[in-house]
Amino acid sequence: MATSKAAKVEAEIGKVKEKISEFTAKLRELEAKKTAIENSEIVDIVRGMSIPLEELATMLQAVKSGAAPASGQVVPKLKASEAGAEGGAGTEDGE
């Protein structure tokens, strides 16, 4: 009787290890997907900035060294009241 209980527990251990392996693979897949999405968003942001490719590396180095705003924004932000006057929709946080 003790052997069959041990065999059942051993079988359950095997099933749990298999599930762990499946979840680990799924986690790696999701992490890779998240990285790809983040990279795509970064590319879209950079393209939207209309900065010539030759100047991009210089600007990023300046941001990294603290010589430029960390947001990458080159012009001052409009205040919420100015954004409304310009027809901008604005956001809840005022950006």
The CA distance from 85 to 83, in Å, is: 5
**pLDDT given at position 82:** 54
**pLDDT given at position 59:** 86
From first to last of its 95 residues, the chain has per-residue pLDDT tens of 567 999 999 999 999 999 999 999 999 999 999 999 999 999 998 888 888 888 888 888 888 998 765 555 555 555 556 555 555 444 445 44
Reference 45, options 12, 84, 22, 72; nearest CA is 72
The count of residues in the chain is 95
The CA distance from 14 to 64, in Å, is: 49
